[in-house]
Amino acid sequence: FPLRSGSLITGVIGLVYLEKRTFGSPELDILEKFAQLASLALDNSFLYSALQRELAERERTEHELQIAKNAAESANQIKSNFLASMSHELRTPLNAIIGYSEMLEEDIHLTGNEGMIEDVQRIQAAGSLLLEMINEILDISRIEAGRAHLELETFSLDDLIALIRAIVQPMFDHSSNEFVIKAADSLGLMHSDRIKVRQTLFNLLSNANKFTENGLVTLTVQRDAHETADWIQFDVTDTGIGISENQQKKIFEPFTQVDATISRRYGGTGLGLAISRHYCELMGGELFVKSHIGEGSTFTIRLPAEVQ
Model pLDDT for residues 41-75, shown as the tens digit of each residue: 888 888 888 899 999 999 999 999 999 998 888 87
Task: Give the per-residue pLDDT at 45.
Answer: 86
Please determine, for residue 34, whether its predicted confidence score (pLDDT) is greater than 70: yes
Please determine, for residue 167, whether its predicted confidence score (pLDDT) is greater than 80: yes
Confidence of residue 172 (pLDDT cuts 50, 70, 90): very high
CATH number of 153-304: 3.30.565.10
More confident residue, 176 or 156: 156
The predicted model gives 32-44 an average pLDDT of 84
With CA atoms as reference, report the closest residue to 160 among 189, 127, 132, 203: 189
Domains of the chain by residue range:
1-148, 153-304
Task: Give the per-residue pLDDT at 265.
Answer: 54
Confidence of residue 257 (pLDDT cuts 50, 70, 90): low
The predicted model gives 88-111 an average pLDDT of 82
Inter-residue contact 138 to 86 (CB < 8 Å): no
The predicted model gives 231-247 an average pLDDT of 94
